[in-house]
Structure 1
Amino acid sequence: MKLIVGLGNPGKAYEDTRHNIGFKVIDYLSRQWNAPLTQSKFKGMYAVSHRPEGKVMLLKPLTYMNLSGESVSALMDYYDINLEDIIVIYDDLDLPTGQLRLRQKGSAGGHNGIKSLIQHLGNQEFNRLRIGISRPPTGMKVPDYVLQRFSEEEIPEITAAIKKSAAACETGLSKPYVEVMNEFNGV
């Protein structure tokens, strides 16, 4: 079984914020696959999709970003999902808006959701798909920036990034992640 996790914060107030780009990709895949996120367990909302490549779970942790690892590790333990079978999607301040960066391992890089995952999984070797949200303007604090909605000018780039991210996740169901990285990095 494969697991695709989108990181974000639950609730209307956070719905379309930069920090919730991971949730947006999961919502997009859920619609594309006709797999509504109706199951609530493991401190998250999830769906199971029966794909030609096998069973795939889509997960949106509802623990708030800083505790994402609680939800992911509980679900992985229950379903006995291997680390190499997950993809975690999240925002990245160090990439230009809409640019993708895929990696198989690494540090948290200051991202609290990834910090929580590394802590709860006891490992930093898991597949990641980062979506650029750029840096805040001078004088704006990072928390204020990531909890802000995208500007009208950014919407086309973000919409394209969501679709490319979904395509990368789908490709990752049938190809080794290193091949997915080669195909989608930097797009």
Structure 2
Amino acid sequence: MTTPSGSDTGGPWLVVGLGNPGSEYADNRHNVGFMVADLLAARMGGKFKRSGKAQAQVVEGRLGVPGPGSRRVIVAKPQSYMNLSGGPVTALRDFYKVETARIVAVHDELDVDYGVLRLKLAGGDNGHNGLKSMTKSMGPEYHRVRFGIGRPPGRMQVADFVLRDFSSVERKELDFFVDRAADAVEALITEGLERAQSSFNS
């Protein structure tokens, strides 16, 4: 299935950066979805505001080249914890009348090498608690931009790994990779899934 492209008649898109609220989590690997959402908001020239309809921060605007090729987009950061993301996302979907196939979840992915992107539509949650909550609330038929963080070293537990900040070595390239992930979201929305996959599924 290919995402709609070339026309804005299908309604708005909802881009959800997954993460945990609070300054203590801000630089964690698990919060890379928030980092991409922040960059997308900056590109749209907007600032996050608390939603009156859901437990989330949202910014509304347009992404893509100005003109008929741009798309109306709501970027959101759920303010529940990761494992409760489905509630806020579903509330935003219903309020903005967004088709589930026009929802994009941006999240960290353990089974992909650091900085590598994988774009897909639907599928399993691979143990990711944010995706698990979203799928439980509204089914699996939404898009995912999977940001690779790699597996934990040695015998480190997964929960400890994802809730730690990116390492000093990783941070040297983090801004570049976050920027590329934001590009991938824009391409998915404006050009369709297949084109975006061919460009960004490295």
| Shorter-chain TM band | over 0.9
Matched, 1:50 2:62: yes
Aligned 1:162-177 pairs, distance under 5 A: 162-177=178-193
> What's the TM-score, normalizing by structure 1?
0.95
CA distance in 1, matches of 2:111, 2:180: 19
Query: Offset at 1:143?
Result: 0.8
The match for 1:159 is 175
Query: Offset at 1:160?
Result: 1.6
Runs of 4+ in structure 1 over 2 Å off: none
The match for 1:89 is 106
Secondary structure of the structure 2 residue equivalent to 1:173? helix
The match for 1:22 is 33
Residue type matched to 2:22 in 1? Answer: G
CA distance in 1, matches of 2:122, 2:49: 30
Query: Offset at 1:97?
Result: 0.9
Which whole-Å deviations, capped at 9, do the CAs of 1:8-36 have from their partners, x for residues lacking one? Answer: 00001100000000000001111222111
Residue type matched to 1:32 in 2? Answer: R
Structure 2: gaps of 5 or more residues: 1-11
Which whole-Å deviations, capped at 9, do the CAs of 1:117-167 have from their partners, x for residues lacking one? Answer: 00001x212110011111111121111110100111001332221111111
Secondary structure of the structure 1 residue equivalent to 2:86? helix
Query: Offset at 1:49?
Result: 0.7
The match for 1:110 is 127
The match for 2:46 is 35
Secondary structure of the structure 1 residue equivalent to 2:59? strand
Aligned 1:112-151 pairs, distance under 5 A: 112-121=129-138, 123-151=139-167
CA distance in 2, matches of 1:131, 1:158: 11
Structure 1: gaps of 5 or more residues: none
Which whole-Å deviations, capped at 9, do the CAs of 1:79-128 have from their partners, x for residues lacking one? Answer: 1100121111000111111111111111011111000000001x212110
Q: Identify which range, 68-77 or 26-35, moves more after superposition.
A: 26-35
CA distance in 1, matches of 2:142, 2:195: 15
Query: Offset at 1:61?
Result: 0.4
Aligned-residue CA RMSD in angstroms? 1.2
Residue type matched to 1:43 in 2? Answer: Q
Secondary structure of the structure 1 residue equivalent to 2:85? helix
The match for 2:5 is none
The answer to whether the Cα contact below 8 Å between 1:83 and 1:125 also exists between their aligned partners in 2 is yes
The answer to whether the Cα contact below 8 Å between 2:71 and 2:190 also exists between their aligned partners in 1 is no
> What's the TM-score, normalizing by structure 2?
0.88
Residue type matched to 1:144 in 2? Answer: D
Q: Identity across aligned pairs (percent)?
A: 38
